[in-house]
Amino acid sequence: MKKVLSFLFIVFSTEIFGSYKYHSFYFNGNHYSISESEIMLSLLILIGILIVCFIPTLITKKNIKIILILNIFLIWTVIGWLILLITVIIRNNLEISVFCPYCKEKIKKDAIVCKHCQKSLTEQK
């Protein structure tokens, strides 16, 4: 894993600093040459990893700034990232239910008739 990350770092840095024109570099005393397709593949992998890391921020509906800050700090710990992801999923699913305006019981957001008091909710929407 360390070799893969160091290779991605080298490819990414060569893309940024412009030495990609020569398609070769030295790493640990060895000379390597890479093609443009390998550079593009490594950049796509890096972008894919970043997208996966920021899934909690991308799927949240509320408090995007707070979730983004927590996501930045919790990316590095897999357990923290999983807890943040589960929390965001649970919070998004909790918004599905609302309270009936007549009996104040919890009902589904898209309900047409309250299952507790049997009153129609279509005129409320």
Q: What's the whole-model pTM score?
A: 0.49
Read off the pLDDT of residues 43-64 as tens digits, 9 standing for 90 and up.
Answer: 888 888 888 888 888 888 778 8
Q: Is 85 exposed, middle or buried (0-12, 13-18, 19+ CB in 10 A)?
A: middle
Q: Which residues of the chain fall short of a pLDDT of 70?
A: 1-27, 94-95, 123-125
pLDDT value at position 20? 47
Q: Domain locations in the chain? A: 1-53, 54-94, 97-125
Q: What is the CA radius of gyration of the chain?
A: 25
pLDDT value at position 117? 92
pLDDT value at position 76? 77
